[in-house]
Structures are given as structure tokens and as C-alpha cells.
Amino acid sequence: MLNRRDFLKISAAVAAVSPLSAVRAQSSSTDSSSEVSAANSLRAHAEQHGLLVGCAVAPERLANDAQYAALVAGQINLLVAENAMKWHALRPAPDKFDFTAADAILAFAESHNQKLRGHNLCWHEALPDWFASTVTKANARQTLTKHIETVAGHFAGKLHSWDVVNEAIDPASPRPDGLRVSPWLELAGEDYIELAFRTARQADPKALLTYNDYGIELDTPKHVDKRAKVLALVQRLHKSGIIDAVGVQSHLSAGDDVSGTGLRDFVRELRGMGLQVFITELDVNTQKAQGTVADRDAEVARIYREYLTHMLAESNVTAALTWGITDRYTWLNSPRYARPDGQRQRPLPFDADYKPTSAFFAERAALDSRPAAADRL
């Protein structure tokens, strides 16, 4: 949790970090021994194509790690809080809201001319400890609306978009509509999703209201089934005019076949409904991948290149974010995803020493592959 001293440090970092900060590059076929400076950053390449390129960030790292802050300032034009805008971060007690950490991210973004996404207003995870003993069928709807009114209201007019509801579909659900059997469903009723979106719309009419989910990227039977259920839910929300975008999380794994057409059909279906699509949490899990570090890097880069190139060919895909920016800080190096050989995973565009990985060059090439507006699908 961010304390006041961290907050002050972020304010100092905000002032000190220049978006022109350069980061030494690892040798690569295209940028051998060069620097990833402003002109050849992800951000510059994205902006040339009218795209948003982003990453998840942590405010305590922005405050305490100057190299990290420089990387985020120089490479990215769209931020999202990895954890700092979730319920457990904002709600220390049932009657308390603490915006210190989230506000620090907003201040960083504003001072570097970056946009900020909100993640998230309603999820079955990251709920505070008091939730289970405090929220009941009698007060769940009011608890949800009060949270959204307060949080979305606090940031009103300042955010690019909000993940209003996160991961509400579960292929293992016994329900035909696939709605996850979660505390929200059980306590607030099956229209809790509409309630959340309607409340968010009123609290912040400017933010793009987004439904965000994972496990819908591939053409495996499980992903195809989940994608169909997500589409049905989005159509339900679209009929009520309360959704603007869909977030495709894109937590992929080595070996994934990302050449299937199902996701692109889904994206086009959404385009027909006037909805944008954001790639919200891209990374590549190499927990079980064999081969050398170089082999695994090449596989991560292959997935970045193929996946992003396919997706960015679709005109309504307007933003691509990775779930972190450096391998130094990635949820995939938590014990749950540890490799059996003890080697660290390298799922992100910069390695643990802040040098660009093969994924960086693949991501940048994919941004450059964005067709000119006139040629876009």
C-alpha cells in the first residue's frame, strides 16, 4: 500500500522523469547497440499510427524505481493500475475510500501526457477482507452502486476508460448464460452487470465503459465457448446502450496458436455494434516452455508479433497494453507460475535489467504494421 512518503516521492518522480529518457538497448537485428529513445520508443511508433500503447503499473515502483518510472514515461501513452484501483486497494474499511495510490498514478500520467484506464469497478477477486462479513443480499446492490458512484465519480472526466465489470463469464458455470457464480451474482442478482454499467455511465459519462475478460483469444473449444458467452453478454449490454468497448486480456502462453480467425470474427462483430476493442493485459507465459532462454524469447516474440499484427489490422482495436513493462515486475514470476528449473519468466517488452527484449521489437513492428486508415478493415 502506498503511504504519504511514497506519494511525495511519486510527485518528485513526476517532476524529474523526462519522456525523453533513453534506455540502453540490448543488441538486436534492428537496433543493435542503439538506444530506445523517444524517437524509436513504442510510444512514438504507436502515435505515428494513431494507436494507444500501454502497460500496467504499480505506484510504489513509480515512486521508488527511477529507471522503471523513466521507462513508463518514455515508452507508453496509456497506463492502467495493476492493482491500485481494485476494491481491496481503495476500500480499507466499509465506510472508507483511500485514493492516495490511484491519484499518484493519475498525477504521473497527466504530467507525462498519458491516458489512464481504470481497472476495475466490479470483480469477484481483490475484494477487501471486510467484504465477506459485511456485504449481504440486503445491501449488495447499494454497496456496489456506492462504490461505483464514489470511485468513478472521483475520476470523472479524467480517464480514458473503465473496466466496469471484469471476468463475469466462467465456462465452468452451471448456468446456460455462463455467468460466473460469484459473490456479486449471488448477493446482487443477475442484473448486477447492468447495474454496474448504468451506475458507471452516470458517474462518468466520458469514460469508455468496458467489459474485460480472458480465455477468449484462441480457437480451442474452451475459448470458442467462452467467447460466444462473452459476446451474448456484450450484446445484452449493447441493447441497453451502456457499453462502449470490450477488453481482451490476452494472457497467452508459449505454444499457443494465435492464427485462428475466431477472435477476429468476434472483433468484427463488435465493430458492427460500434464497439472498440482493447488488448488489455498482454503477456506470454513460458512456465512450461522448453529450450534455451533465446528459444523461449523467440517464442514470446512470435506470439507478440503474430497476435498483435492480426489484432491491429482491425480498425476498432485501438489500444494494446501489456501486463507490466519489465520482467523485473511481473505476476508471472510469482511462485504459482515459477518454472520448474527456477529460471525467471521473460513475458514483457523489457527484461529485468530494463533492456528491450525480442518482444519489444516484435511489439514495435506490430504497431508499425497497423494499416493506414484508408486500408483498415
Shortest distance, position 123 Cβ to ligand G3I, whole Å: 7
Shortest distance, position 212 Cβ to ligand G3I, whole Å: 7
- The secondary structure element, H or E, covering residue 151 is helix 140-154
Cβ proximity to ligand G3I: between 34 and 83 the closer is 83
The active-site residue out of 213, 217, 297, 351 is 213
Please give the sequence-ordered ranges of beta strands (E in DSSP) within the chain, or none if there are none. Answer: 23-24, 35-36, 52-57, 78-81, 115-122, 161-166, 208-213, 245-248, 251-253, 276-285, 317-322
Q: Are 366 and 360 in contact (CB under 8 A)?
A: no
Of the candidates 123, 81, 82, 73, which has an alpha carbon nearest to the alpha carbon of residue 103?
A: 81
Shortest distance, position 74 Cβ to ligand G3I, whole Å: 22
Shortest distance, position 188 Cβ to ligand G3I, whole Å: 20
The active-site residue out of 60, 281, 314, 363 is 281
Cis peptide before 83 (omega within 30 of 0): no
The active-site residue out of 6, 65, 82, 167 is 167
Reply yes or no on whether 167 is catalytic.
yes
DSSP string, 199-259: HHHHH-TTSEEEEEESS-SS-SHHHHHHHHHHHHHHHHHHHTT---EEEE--EEETT----
* Distance, CA of 173 to CA of 318 (rounded, Å): 31
Query: What Å distances lie between residue 12 and 4, 20, 21, 111, 192, CA to CA?
Result: 12, 17, 16, 11, 41
Structure letter (DSSP) for residue 326: B
In a 13 Å sphere around the CA of 234, the CA atoms on its Cβ side amount to 29
Q: Phi and psi (nearest 5°) for 52?
A: -100, 130
* Distance, CA of 276 to CA of 289 (rounded, Å): 33
Closest CB to ligand G3I: residue number = 331
In the structure grid, which three cell numbers stand for residue 48, read together? 505515428
Q: Phi and psi (nearest 5°) for 220?
A: -75, 155
Shortest distance, position 80 Cβ to ligand G3I, whole Å: 9
Of the candidates 334, 354, 323, 248, which has an alpha carbon nearest to the alpha carbon of residue 82?
A: 323
Give the position of cell 506470439: 303
Shortest distance, position 10 Cβ to ligand G3I, whole Å: 17
Binding residues for ligand G3I, per CB under 6 A?
82-83, 86, 125-126, 166, 214, 249, 281, 331
Shortest distance, position 317 Cβ to ligand G3I, whole Å: 18
Reply yes or no on whether 213 is catalytic.
yes
Residues marked as catalytic: 167, 213, 281
